[in-house]
Every structure is written in C-alpha cells, then in structure tokens.
C-alpha cells in the first residue's frame, strides 16, 4: 500500500472542535444557542441511526437538538405544517428532513418548503441555484466535507482534472459545482458514461458516489490521484457483515496518492459539516460573523 489514508474521523473531530468553540462564544457573548431540528418520517432503521447520531453530536458541540419523529403514515399537510412551525421558530436555525421520505410524500415539495436560510442540507432549490451561480449558499454537507478533505490534502485544486462518478442532486451534482468553483476541470460520469475506466484514469481527483460495492478497481486510478470514496455499501463477506465503499480499497490504495477509507472517511465529515452549517445559519440569521 502506498497511498496516504485520509483520516476523516480525525478531521471531523477537528471540525467539531471548531464548531464547539464557536458555539461557546455565541452563547457567552451573544446569549444565543444554535438549534438544529431534525425531522424523521417513518421507521427506516438506517435513517433512525443517522438521526440519532446527528442528535447526539449536535448536543455534544453545545447546540440545541430538536428531534421530530413522525409516523410513516403522516400526511403531506401535517409535515408541511411542522416545517412551517420550524421556519417561524427563532430557536431553530437549521432544519433537516431525513431522506428518503415514504413514497406518498413529495420530497421536492417538502424540501422546498424549508426556509432556505435554515436549509442546512443545502437541498432547497434556492441554495442549489446560489451554489450553481457561485453565490453564498448553504452547501450540501457530504460534498462540503469532501471538498474540505481535498483542500487539506492538495492545497489549491486549480487546474486539476476532477472526475465525479454519480450525478445525484445530493452528492454528485453539488460536488461537481464545488470542484468547478475551485477551478478544477470537472467531468461528471454516470451509468450511461462510455468507457468509465478511461474517464476515471484521467482523474487527478476521483470522487466516487455511486452506491455499488467496490465497483472501481485500482487499475482505473491514475497513479498518485486523490480518491474520495463517498459510497456506503453493506455487504456480507466470509459470513460477516461489512461496510465497503464504491472503490476497491486494497487495489486502489496501491496506486493512489491518497484515499479515504470506508468507514472512517467521508461519513464522519458529513455530520461535522451539518453542525458547521447550523452555526453558519445561526450567524447569518443574527447578522454575526460566520465561522471560516
């Protein structure tokens, strides 16, 4: 193995420390405690774990956490009414609706009913537009975490060839926008891309956000490239349950310059960025200096 392993867990701990320090100052100097409301509809076990972790970490950095667990059969009108209440609540600076929502609820409608200033996931169409036009936006947490790790590893990203595999609204597209914002030459690949191997081999920065276990082998990776593996795939190997990424870690680590592991790479950074976005939203709402 030659690649540097990018320790997302340690990096996320640093981000959380900075967030906690900022929260402490907000409380002491301004008398304001940032608050994050998380809305979970239904009882999807993976979503329940994510929501629990978010709530726990929100409290750990000194912020207020408001969890709203609604039954799977909640109507759209009920959910929209809750969001309206949270939009109007001055104690709530960030609102996150855990996705996926049950099938009878229109996710676009629900997300776009969140006040864009409180949309700490950065999925509201206003924030998508602001990001796409290079204006101050709430930036989606997973791509933001990836960008922070890339900057930390590489310094300037200017002029580098970046390939993002995956074009979802929550990871692939905003990731590509952020890389473009940092002056990378960006290619977005997806399930219809021809000769994906050749496209990946051109990448100085390869971001995999597909959701297919270990689909990118080491021989698709340019020697020395920086590889960010967003994928979280649950597999069974040798009778044991295991989490793996979209990149085949062993073979990729032999070629890459740096690589994120799964678990312990992108995942922890996502929640840390959610906390950071909540503090940013709180500062903006109160006309205060934002954390850097």
Which part of the chain contacts ligand NDP (CB under 6 A), choosing from 16-24, 115-123, 149-157, 204-212?
A: 204-212
Catalytic site residue from 121, 182, 204, 229 = 121
* Residue selected from 211, 217, 257, 264 as contacting ligand NDP according to rule CB under 6 A: 211
- Supply the minimum distance, in Å, between the C-beta of residue 278 and ligand NDP: 16
- Supply the minimum distance, in Å, between the C-beta of residue 166 and ligand NDP: 4
Sheet holding 161-165, edge to edge: 4-5, 258-259, 226-229, 205-208, 161-165, 185-189
Output the furthest CA–CA distance in the chain (Å, rounded).
56
Determine whether 54 is an active site residue.
yes
* Residue selected from 42, 94, 122, 166 as contacting ligand NDP according to rule CB under 6 A: 166
Please, are residues 208 and 165 in contact by the beta-carbon 8 Å criterion?
yes
Give the span between the Cα atoms of 47 and 286, in whole angstroms.
Answer: 31
Query: What does each C-alpha distance from 218 to 89, 195, 214, 247 come to in angstroms?
Result: 50, 15, 10, 8
Determine whether 135 is an active site residue.
no
Give the span between the Cα atoms of 61 and 273, in whole angstroms.
Answer: 12
- Supply the minimum distance, in Å, between the C-beta of residue 164 and ligand NDP: 9
Question: Within positions 247 to 266, which residues make up the interface with ligand NDP, using CB under 6 A?
Answer: 266
- Supply the minimum distance, in Å, between the C-beta of residue 107 and ligand NDP: 12
Which residues contact residue 176 at a Cβ distance below 8 angstroms, ignoring those fewer than 6 apart?
A: 162, 164, 167, 186, 188
- Supply the minimum distance, in Å, between the C-beta of residue 192 and ligand NDP: 5
Pairing of strands 4-5, 258-259: parallel
Q: Does 139 bind ligand NDP (CB under 6 A)?
A: no
* Residue selected from 270, 277, 278, 280 as contacting ligand NDP according to rule CB under 6 A: 270
Residues 4, 178, 53: CA angle, nearest 5 degrees:
70
Q: Does 170 bind ligand NDP (CB under 6 A)?
A: yes
Bond before 3 cis per omega within 30 degrees: no
Pairing of strands 161-165, 185-189: parallel
- Supply the minimum distance, in Å, between the C-beta of residue 260 and ligand NDP: 9
Determine whether 121 is an active site residue.
yes
Q: Does 190 bind ligand NDP (CB under 6 A)?
A: yes
Q: Does 165 bind ligand NDP (CB under 6 A)?
A: yes
Which part of the chain contacts ligand NDP (CB under 6 A), choosing from 65-73, 147-155, 227-235, 282-290?
A: 227-235
Please, are residues 259 and 253 in contact by the beta-carbon 8 Å criterion?
yes
Give the span between the Cα atoms of 128 and 292, in whole angstroms.
Answer: 21
Total chain residues near ligand NDP (CB under 6 A)? 25
Active site residues: 54, 98, 121
Interface with ligand NDP (CB under 6 A): 142, 165-168, 170-172, 189-193, 196, 209-212, 230-233, 266-267, 270
């Amino acid at each position: 193995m030659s690649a540097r392993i990018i320790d997302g867990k340690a990096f996320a701990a640093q981000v959380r420390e900075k967030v906690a320090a900022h929260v402490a100052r907000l409380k002491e100097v301004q008398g304001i405690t940032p608050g994050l409301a998380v809305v979970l509809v239904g009882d999807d076990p993976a979503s329940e774990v994510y929501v629990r972790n978010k709530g726990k970490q929100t409290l750990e950095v000194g912020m207020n956490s408001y969890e709203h667990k609604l039954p799977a059969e909640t109507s759209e009108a009920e959910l929209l009414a809750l969001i309206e209440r949270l939009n109007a609540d001055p104690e709530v600076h960030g609102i996150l609706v855990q996705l996926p929502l049950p099938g009878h609820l229109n996710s676009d409608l629900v997300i776009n009913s969140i006040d864009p200033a409180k949309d700490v996931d950065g999925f509201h169409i206003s924030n998508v537009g602001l990001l796409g036009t290079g204006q101050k936006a709430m930036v989606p947490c997973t791509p933001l975490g990836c960008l922070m790790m890339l900057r930390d590893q590489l310094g300037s990203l200017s002029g580098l060839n970046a390939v993002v595999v995956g074009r979802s609204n929550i990871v692939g597209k905003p990731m590509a926008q952020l890389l473009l914002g940092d002056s990378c030459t960006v290619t977005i690949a997806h399930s219809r891309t021809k000769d994906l191997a050749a496209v990946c081999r051109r990448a100085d920065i390869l971001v995999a956000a597909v959701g297919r276990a270990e689909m990118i082998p080491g021989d698709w990776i340019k020697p020395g490239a920086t590889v960010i593996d967003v994928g979280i795939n649950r597999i069974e190997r040798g009778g044991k349950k295991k989490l793996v990424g979209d990149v085949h870690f062993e073979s990729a680590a032999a070629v890459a310059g740096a690589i994120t592991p799964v678990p312990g790479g992108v995942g922890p950074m996502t929640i840390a960025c959610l906390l950071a976005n909540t503090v940013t939203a709180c500062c903006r709402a109160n006309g205060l200096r934002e954390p850097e």
